[in-house]
Structure formats: C-alpha cells, structure tokens
Structure 1
Amino acid sequence: MQSGAHFSLEDERSHGSESTGARLLLTGPYLVSTIGGVDRDLRSINGSVSTVDLSGVTEIDTVGAYVACSLAQKHGAEVVGADERASRLMKAVGPSAGGEANVRPERPVTLARVPETVGEGVFEFGGGIKGLIAFIGALMASFGTLILHPRRFRGKALVRQMELVGVASLPIVGLMSFLIGIVVAQQGAVQLRQFGAEIYTINLTGRLNLRELGVLMTAIMIAGRSGSAFAAQIGTMKLTEEVDAMRTIGISPMEALIVPRILAAFLMMPLLGFYAAVMAIIGGAFIADLTLGIPFLTFLARIQEVVPIYDLWVGLAKAPVFGLIVGIAGCYQGMQVKDNSEQVGLRTTKAVVQAIFMVIVLDAFFAVFFTKVGWA
C-alpha cells in the first residue's frame, strides 16, 4: 500500500542562502491516488515561497506535475530537484505547454464546400439505394427459403411482434384517431354551416377517415412507434455483435429478426387502420351529438348510407403497403448500424423519417390512382 504525499516548509537560510522566502519540500509519491490528502493544504499556503523542491518525490504522474507547476506559478517560485520524468511531465502540463494546431479545422470556402456536400449526398443516396435493393433481395430469398422449409418459420416470434406492433398500439392509435375525428367533424361543420349543409359533416367525417386519415395517421404513428423500435433493437444487436453471433451458430438474422417484424407490420396495419377509422367516426359522432344536434346513433346509421363501400376497400388496400414500408425502413436502417452507439440514434431517426416520407408519397400516388380508376 502506498504512503501518502507530504510536504514541508523550510527557511532558505537553513540551506546557507540569503532568505528570500521559504523552500517548499515535496516528499513521497505525488500521484492521482495519493495527492488528495495534501492538495487542500498546498492550496492554502499563502506565505512567500521561493523554491519548490521535488528532490524528495519518489513517484510522480501528470496530476503531481500539474500541482507542482501550479504551486510554482502561484508563488513565482523556482522548481528544483526534478528528475528526468518529472521535468518531462511538467513541460507537458505546464503553462507553456500547447500546440500550434487550430482547435477547429479551417472551414473550406463556400464554392468548394457546397459542391462537396452535394456530391457526398449523391454518393450516399446511391449507396443507400444499392444497399436497400440488396436488403430487399435478401428478404425475398429468406421468404423463399421459409416457403420451401416452413418448419424454419418462427411463429412465436411473429405472434410476439404482432402483439408489440398491434395490440400494444391500440390505446395510442385509438386516442389519436378519436381526437382527429372530433377535429375533422367540428372544423368541417364550421365550414359547411356557411352553406347550410351541416348534415354533410357525416359524409366528410366518414369518407375522409375510412379512405385517407385512418390509415395514413396510423402508418405515421406506427412508423414513429414500431419502426423506430425495429431500428433501435436491431441496431443495438448489431453493435453488441449479437447478429454476428447468430450467423456464427448458423441462425439466419433475416429469418429470426427481420421476417417476423416485417410480417407483423404487414399483417397488423390493415387491422389498425380499420380500428383507427372506426374510432375517428365515433369521435365525429360524439362531437356531432354535443354541438350539432345530430344524435350519436343517427350519425353512425347515416355513415352506412352515405359512405360507399369502396372507400373501405381503398383504405384497406393501402394499409398493407404502408406496413411493409414501415417494417422494411426500420429493419434496414437497424442492419446498417456499425462503429459506435451514435449510429443507433442516427439510423433510428432515418428509419422514421424515410418511412413517413414514403408513406405520404405513396398515399398521394394511391389517391391519384384510385381517382383515375373511378373510385373517387
């Protein structure tokens, strides 16, 4: 066990020189683990110190060297008795230490920086497209393998993911959809009242939620909730080398991790979309009963008369595609995690942004397509 660091103050006249101040003699090991006992006392020295003597120091590290330099600078004293190691450390941590390099690199001029950033973005986009195509190809190969060898399919993993994606999402999706239904009905009634057509609030609420908002808002919610979870879970497993360990023992990560998650999002999205549309209609009926004088049950009965059945099929047709997009975006970004934990956050953010962007783009495409085929 190391003994602690010590110090003493001696008059310079005891060493045969003219007294110009005290000599501060440091003894023992001056290490980060031993200096704590004397650090406060050293800082409280207020007298005149002309010399800091290190001849009694048995061991020293950068903390001890820094303390010695600080004492010498505070009292304007001279450091003596330092061996080669102590001198080198004091030179490294002393007030004269420092490099000539800039703290931050010089920023390139705008004319060079902008093309460089654009070029990097283009190459990153191209690499992302290539990686996504490879991922989809591996996913299709895994589906083909599972079709040929159905015993390899992990049914329990699928049920678990369906529970996480679907059942666990019911409260937040239901509440969100109920409130959206209230907003749509209330704002629609305000505008239709100008034309004396408040009764058409039922048409507006029913068609808009069954055809568009129910599925779209559910997809956005699932992208933020489950898509981000897919990316974070798989990314963490990549970072901790669990995915590599699975490959080592002969387990396909695509079959064990990716397929159940994508299938769960694909299967649960139509159910969640229909549930969201129903909750939105109930919200509209609730506010209509309170503010418009339309009875709750009359509102619901009228929905069956004014909303064509193909609006329901349009919403249900889009839902699996949106679920597929959310699942693929989350799992793909999770598999791209590497190097450090910061990648988990970055890839999770990318998964959510890309999923929401693609969902909105495809929703616009579906809107135009179904209008062209006469399902408007």
Structure 2
Amino acid sequence: MKKINKVLASLAIAGMALTMIPFNAFAEGLIPTGISIGAATVTQISVQIADQGGSSHTATLDQIVTEIMSYRGYLNPSEKDSINEARTNFLTSVQDGTLSDSADGILTDQVVARFQASGFTRFDAKVALIKALRDFQAVRYSDDTATLESALVNFKIENERTIRTLFGDDFKVELFYGFMMATQDELQKEIKKEIKKNPSVILGLVGSSNTEIKDTFVEWLKTALHNVADPQNSKYHVFDQKLADIGWNIDLLVDTQRQIGAVIDPSNAAEKAVGMSIIRSQIQYKINGTIYDPLTPVKLKKSDNKLKLVFSVKGIDTGAFNLAGLLAWKTDNSAIATVAEDGSSIKAGTTKGTTVITAYRINDSQVEMNELIRITVVVN
C-alpha cells in the first residue's frame, strides 16, 4: 500500500503543482483594474490589456491552459459535479466568513509590514489575501477550458497589486513557470521509477479512499516543491528566499490549502477527482500497433474483428506486463463494439453508431468513481 500511495501522490502532485501556477504566474506587467470580463473572450481581454499599455501574455496563458486541461479533460461527469460543488462551497465560505480563519496563518507580521509600507492597514492586507485565495480557488476548481481561461484572466486583473506588494516588482512569470515545470520533471522521475519497479501498482491507484489520496497528495506536494526549491545551487532557490522574506514557506502554503480544502471539500471528493483525472492522463493504448489517447474517439468499421489491444503508461516500458488483462470491461452498447474479457482485443459489432467502453478494477462495484480508462468508439 505504501508503494501504491507513493506513485499515486506523484501523479497527483503533478496536477496540483500546475494548479498553483496562476497564483503568481501573472505578476509582471502593468495590469489595468477597470476591465470587466463579463462574457468577453480571453483574446478580447488580451487586446484590451495591450491597448492600455500592458502586456497580454496570451502565449503564457495558452500554455497554462493547455497544461492544466491536459488532465482535466479526463474528468467524468460525477467528478465534475464534485469539483463544481467544491467551487460553490468556496464561494459560500467567502460570503459567510468561514474562510477568514484560513488566511490567518499567512497574515504574518512581514506581510502586514509590506502592506503598511504601501499605505494599507492589517485589515486591508487580510482582505487582499482572502480575495487572492478566492480567485485562486476559482482556477483550481475549473473543469472546462472557457471557465479556466476566464478564471486565469480574472486572477491577473484583480490581484496584480497584491502580488507586487508581497513579492516585489522583480518577480517574473518566466521564472515561476520554469519552477513549476522543474517540479513536474521531478515528479515524472518518481513516477517512472516506481512503475518500473512494479507495473501492477497502477491498479491500486484507483482503489484508494478520498482521504488517503488527499493526505498523500499533501505530503508529496511538499516533498516535490522542496526538492526543486531548497538546494542553494538551484536557480529556483529564489522562491525559498521570496517566501522567507514575508514569513512564508512551502509547508505553510500547502497547509493553508489543506485548511481551505477541509472547509469546501470535506469529503475530499474534488481532490480525488483531480487525482483520478491525472492518473487517466498517464494511460495510452495501441490498436493493431497504432497509439491512441483515451480522449480521442476510435473509429472502426463493422468488418473490424479482434483488433489487438495493448495498454501502457506513457513513457514507461512495462515489458510483458498486461494491464488490460487485469481490468474488467463494460460497454454501453455491445451491438456497436466490445472488448474481449481478457482485454486483448477490441471488435466492432453489427450496428453503426457511437458507444463508450469503460475499464475498471475487477470486482469493483464503483465503476464510474474508480474507472481507469474510458474509450469512445465510433463504428461506421
């Protein structure tokens, strides 16, 4: 179980690290505060910012959206519901004051001093931090591209002054983005190492409870960030210094996020949803030697029969390990397409149309909650 949790945490932290990007990623540039997002597109907003003398950073925005949505796209409907519920709970907690205590830990004397140096009070500082936390959670719990883009742009517009007050005018987006990518690399090394040791460990990932997943995420998030930021010879050591200057550290920020989660996602269902989507994003499969991503529908002809099916983890040579053979398979319409019981092949049925085939752990009654693979098949 220890090994299972270790790999699960590594997969999940990759996503959690990416969701932290927006917290500081737009700290540079002169950001006008009078822009109303409304129903405008991100492109239109970027043009507005550029016209007012700022920098739109659309390329960086596109990169962040692409990275985050590379795993958010694997959420199933019930998981999206969990994320939406957490987002709603967060807005409620802001309105009724429940979130106020979560900001106390990061309202350090150094933070207050920086706000006071700019003519603001301790109360102003706390309000600004709560607002930044609120806007950050809107990014964290976005489950589609349009919502995510809007949340990112809103964070940039609404919190630029707070970020500058906390971290200074020299804080640049490129360095922070590089820091998060370095964290990603560190996690990928751990994923590859553990799965190479025991490829079957991936089956255990889907069986962990919400609480086990959340607790493991938190501890390994700390480890990953420390590995990148702590060494003094690391070019990302500046983050340790920036945080220390205002009385913050990595552990404090992660614990603050844990406190927020306890209020808005007490069952940890949203955290598990994000974790499961990351796990699924690591799976790929081959049909007769051609590689497919589970998000891309497979097109078959009615004459296709017993096409060879092989599943693997991206970037990992699992040798003779047969992942598909250790899963149970369910098809929404067996007349359109089915997978062999041992997972070795896929074949078209006698009816044209579209169906969804789901793979999950054998003898697992919670099919949708613990699904590992979902394939959309189109038969012409």
TM-score over 0.5 for the pair:
no
| TM-score bin (small chain) | under 0.3
Larger helix fraction of residues: 1
Q: Larger Rg: 1 or 2? A: 1
TM-score by length of 2: 0.24
Larger strand fraction of residues: 2
